[in-house]
Chain A
Amino acid sequence: VTCHDARELFSAEIDGALGAGEAAGLQAHLAGCPECRRELARFRATVAVLHSVEPLRAPAGFVDRVLEAARPPSWTERLRRWLVSPLALRGPIAVTVTALVAVTAVYLYERTPELQRGFEVAAPARPVEQLTRPVPLPPPAASAPQAIIPAPKETAPAKERATDRFRTMARPDPVAPPASPEPARDVPATPGEKKAAVEERNVVAGSAADASGREQVTARLAEEQRQLGAAQAPPREGERAERAAAGRAPVASPPAAARAKAAPDLAKRSATAASPPDVEGRLGVADRPAARQALVELAARLGGTALPASADARGDVVDLLVPAAAYPELVAGLVRLGRWAPVREPAALAGQVRVSLLLTD
């Protein structure tokens, strides 16, 4: 056993962990090596000092603090921790809540016709005529959003989609006859229909511009019509009949021709009526019977009257007769009732004004 080997056994020797052979070898070396004996003595002293160290004590209140930390947190504490939790946890929660709110909003919008109408009438675009002519303010109404100016159909494709959706959701009218096999389309497909659309636009523009502006617009639109006519196929028989029915309007007057093309139903009706209506237009409503009743009451309130029910095949036309002075108020009432889209609306009205309304969904 060398000195190095002997000193490697010191620790185990002190702890009594040496085997019999190791212990005997160590003792034999120590007997002949005073230096290792001195080293072992120092080693023992070091360990003795270590063993004499007083144990440390935990600080006062340590037990209470541990028990407090181990206590389950109250609901308020859990809420507080949740609120101050890292963004990594709050992010997904916020996204989930936002998605739920969005889905709920869409669901409510789909299921609430009033909400859809409110969004539609709140569209920013205004028809030309309303840009050039002040819209009479409606009387105070219980439902404020309904007093908003309606958006023109031509400038609101989103509205068209919403209207289509609304049409599919609306309850079938128990009074009205079955829907026409070919409902009114707003997007013309054939050249003839494109021309009709242009003419319909002419009507709106023509009635909206002032005297000089109207002439310019009329000239421009007439040119547009000529271009369309050049590329247009020969009119069908039905269209010729419609044109013939609308023949009372001056041929040289594009707006008059447009009236006959753009609103065939109204044109037919105008042709068969004893006197043509002064104002024609579409009124999009959710409930036609209710709207019809409301129109009768509105006319009566304005000092006018509703003409007897029309023999129109679709049964969706309501004719009103109101004093010209009450016409602005009638328009305000129409706006409240639904989506009012005038097809023909002369700038100057006098005497009794006959208003022909085609109720649509």
Chain B
Amino acid sequence: MPDEAALVERLRAGEPLAFEELVRRYQHRVFGVAVRMLRNTAEAEEAAQEVFLRVYRAVDEFRGEARLSTWLYAITSRVCLTRLGSGERRLVREGEETLTRLANGEATPGAALERSELAAALHRAIAELPEERRIVVVLRDLEGLAYEEIAGALDLPLGTVRSRLHRARMDLKEKLERFFP
């Protein structure tokens, strides 16, 4: 995208406002993925902040072969999966806090679906997915990335992405079956 390319150039030039624009533009997407993956808002904010700081320091490494947003998703995924695998996460009752807030509709006021029982069940079901499936379904169905973009962001073969996405959706369907005729 032209505006993405221009933003990258301004970032490389060290323009202070460019970084602020980057954060404002992508904050919700980065934070959303982090919350879905880490299931804790406080840790998700830490992770999102870490993502933007990495981008700020490594913008020169961005080769421009993918979209800036895809690069951000790639970094976000890596940061979250690293945290999930580090074993140094806070010992909160994983997912409970965020799931409760999502089920009560606090995070998305005004959205009828989020306040429904189905929404609570869906968020819980997403949170219970295995990490490698969860990240794929989050990037595809919640963030709208194409298969190829997901494969690039996660450094996975396209077939693996398709397989994991299918398994994730099947898991969710089985957990939400009682809501469907």
User: What's the least CB distance linking A36 to chain B, in Å?
Assistant: 13
Bound-state CA distance A8–B169 (Å) is 11
Bound-state CA distance A194–B111 (Å) is 108
Q: A54-B108, A56-B107 are in contact. List 9 more A-B contacts (CB 8 A).
A: A11-B169, A11-B170, A42-B173, A47-B141, A49-B176, A50-B122, A50-B169, A62-B27, A70-B56
Given the complex, which residues of A lie within 8 Å of B32, measured CB to CB? 55-57
Query: Is the pair A58, B31 in contact by a Cβ cutoff of 8 Å?
Result: yes
Contact bitstring A305-316, B, C-beta under 8 A = 1, else 0:
000000000000
Query: Is the pair B113, A62 in contact by a Cβ cutoff of 8 Å?
Result: no
Query: Is the pair A17, B147 in contact by a Cβ cutoff of 8 Å?
Result: yes
Would you call B118 an interface residue if the criterion is a C-beta within 8 Å of the partner chain's C-beta atoms?
yes
Given the complex, which residues of A lie within 8 Å of B53, measured CB to CB? 66, 69-70
Query: Is the pair A10, B166 in contact by a Cβ cutoff of 8 Å?
Result: yes
The 9 closest A-B pairs by CB, nearest first: A11-B166, A58-B31, A56-B32, A50-B141, A46-B173, A58-B27, A54-B108, A54-B111, A42-B180
Query: Is the pair B176, A55 in contact by a Cβ cutoff of 8 Å?
Result: no
With A43-B169, A45-B180 known as contacts, the answer to whether A53 contacts B142 (CB < 8 A) is yes
Bound-state CA distance A339–B45 (Å) is 75
Given the complex, which residues of A lie within 8 Å of B108, measured CB to CB? 54, 56-57
Bound-state CA distance A54–B140 (Å) is 14
With A50-B137, A69-B53, A70-B53 known as contacts, the answer to whether A55 contacts B169 (CB < 8 A) is no
User: What's the least CB distance linking B167 to chain A, in Å?
Assistant: 9
Query: Is the pair B28, A42 in contact by a Cβ cutoff of 8 Å?
Result: no
With A53-B122, A56-B31 known as contacts, the answer to whether A63 contacts B24 (CB < 8 A) is yes
Q: Which of B29, B36, B169, B177 touches A47 (beta carbons < 8 Å)?
A: B169
Count A-B contacts at CB 8 Å.
Answer: 106
User: What's the least CB distance linking B51 to chain A, in Å?
Assistant: 9
Would you call B135 an interface residue if the criterion is a C-beta within 8 Å of the partner chain's C-beta atoms?
no
Would you call A15 an interface residue if the criterion is a C-beta within 8 Å of the partner chain's C-beta atoms?
yes
Would you call B165 an interface residue if the criterion is a C-beta within 8 Å of the partner chain's C-beta atoms?
yes
User: What's the least CB distance linking B15 to chain A, in Å?
Assistant: 13
Would you call A185 an interface residue if the criterion is a C-beta within 8 Å of the partner chain's C-beta atoms?
no
Given the complex, which residues of A lie within 8 Å of B170, measured CB to CB? 7, 10-11, 43
Contact bitstring A205-242, B, C-beta under 8 A = 1, else 0:
00000000000000000000000000000000000000
Query: Is the pair B180, A55 in contact by a Cβ cutoff of 8 Å?
Result: no
Given the complex, which residues of B lie within 8 Å of A42, measured CB to CB? 173, 177, 180
Query: Is the pair A56, B52 in contact by a Cβ cutoff of 8 Å?
Result: no
Bound-state CA distance A46–B165 (Å) is 13
User: What's the least CB distance linking A221 to chain B, in Å?
Assistant: 79
Bound-state CA distance A56–B40 (Å) is 13
Would you call A12 an interface residue if the criterion is a C-beta within 8 Å of the partner chain's C-beta atoms?
yes
